[in-house]
Structures are given as structure tokens and as C-alpha cells.
Amino acid sequence: MNYQITHRTTYRYYGRVSLCHNEARLLPRETSRQFVEESALEVLPAPALRRERTDFFGNRVVNFSVQDIHQTLEVTARSRVTVAPRPSLTDTPSPGWEEVVCLVRDLPELGAMEARQYTLESPFIRPNAALAAYARPSFTAGRPLLEAVLELNRRIFKEFTYDPQFSTLATPLSQVLEERRGVCQDFAHLAIGCLRSLGLPARYVSGYLETLPPPGQPRLVGADASHAWLSVFIPGLGWIDLDPTNDLLPDERHVTLAWGRDYADVAPLKGVMIGGGSHALEVSVDVMPLLPPAEADDEAA
């Protein structure tokens, strides 16, 4: 699938801002299945200082400073991305989950050394007994890890209610588990917390999901949204993506922006400012499928 993605974030301040320093993770990264043909970040007012770097996790980060007095900050990321199909995992063998726990903990091979950091506590995720207890029914003795995580993915989808009014960034994971409600960010954190509580490595992935309008309805520009899912490390298979919000393995409709230990490592835009007071935030996301060149030529003809 080929996509043109536009992600616009606008802050409107009630007072004047004299200086702001910001960090943006809004440019997609390349993976074995994702190719970034072009990407650009536009900032208004124009920043006095700007540089792009790669963070510890390999994500693309743009740091910028606006030093002119302003009451509106608009950050627009435009990217063109191609996402290749995911290889089929049907009937794919994987080691038992206890074996993977031991491998990641004790043996620096098959990528286990890098994966080990994703078994630890992070700002939004604290492994604990309650999360391990929720995961246990899926992780019976000797069960293949891929089979177990697919069941956990399905259980979260079936047993939790998607509720955009329920949570904020400050909502603790314990409350999400107790009330069985949340959004994609909460469900990704929950699944990661369950896996880490058993000693398994899992990381948080931010990106976009192409959404389809209801039958007979037009596609609304800017009506898409950011999405979140997770990846689990399986020796011999590498990192496997899981989307508990939709009970599926991410495919060509998922576009990856960044990954890290949890949301704190991949926040799309954060910063500090002098002045401004309270503010209003507007976010518009558009994930527009593009026709392959051959099909576009046929349609034009």
C-alpha cells in the first residue's frame, strides 16, 4: 500500500509565547516492510533553530526552537510511505514462552541482548502481579510464545471496551485493568505490561491506521487519527507486531512512526515554552491511499 500522510497539530494560546523549544517524532521510520519515499516537517512560525537526529531507539526526531513572539504554533508533517505485505505467520512454529524468558534473561544471542531492555519498568508501565495474573490463562506451561500472545491479543479485544472518554495520559494502568476500558494507547500499554510481568520483551509502537468510511459515506479529509500497538520479541521470528485494539496482526494498513518502551518515548510533539497561558489544541490526521503508478495511468486513461 502507498500512502500520503498529513498530520497537522495546532496550538492556539490565549497569551503571547516569547520562546518555545520542541521535540517532534512525526516523521516515519523505515523498517524491513516500510519505505519512506519522502517526508517533511513544516513549522509556523519558522523556527530560529532546527535539527534532525536519531534517538536511542532509532526514531527520527526533529528539535526546533521558535524565538519570535507568537500565539499560534502549527506543526505539519507530510510523508509518502509504502508498506509491504506482512509475511504469513499461519502455523509458524515458535519456542515455548518460558524458554524465551530464559533466553532473554541469560543469553546474549538472536537479538536477545537488545530485547532485554524491553522487559524492564518504564514511565507508563510497571510490571506487577496483577498484570501477570491477567496474562496467565494465555500462558500455560510450555505453550508456544506466538500462540500465547495471539490469544492475549484476542482476549484484550474481547474483554475490554474501547472508550475515548475514559482515559487520559494520567490514567494508571491499574485502573484500565480494573474497569476494562480504554483506548489504543491503554490497550498497547496493558499488553506490554502483561508480557513484561512474565519476563517477556515487548515494546510500544506509534503510527497510523488507515480508516475506512462507513458504506456509502464519503471519506473525510483529516478525520483519521494516530494509533498505537505493540511488538513482542520472538527468537527466530524477530519482532512481531500485535494490535489488541482490533485483534489483528498489523499489515499494510498500519504505518509505523516510532517505537520505544512506552508512550513517553514516542510522544509525537512535546516541549516547553515561556508565556502563553492556557491553550486550545487541534489535531488533524489524513492517511490517504495512493494508487500504484500502473493503476493511476489506467484510471487517467
Query: Which residue(s) pair with 82 in the sheet?
Result: 2, 35
How do residues 24-42 score in pLDDT, each as one tens digit?
999 999 999 999 999 999 9
Query: Distance between CA 15 and CA 258 in Å, rounded?
Result: 32
Whole domain around residue 138: which residue ranges?
A: 97-251
Query: Which residue(s) pair with 233 in the sheet?
Result: 239
Any domain includes 26: yes
How do residues 131-189 score in pLDDT, each as one tens digit?
999 999 999 999 999 999 999 999 999 999 999 999 888 899 999 999 999 999 999 99
Domain match, 39 and 112 both: no
Q: Which three cell numbers stand for residue 224?
A: 483519521
CB 166 within 8 A of CB 177: no
Any domain includes 260: no
Domain match, 227 and 293 both: no
Assessment of whether the complete model's pTM goes beyond 0.75: yes
Count up the domains in the chain and report the number. Answer: 2
| CATH code where residue 48 lies | 2.60.40.2250
Domain match, 74 and 125 both: no
Q: Which three cell numbers stand for residue 147?
A: 500462540
- Counting every residue written for the chain, the total comes to 301
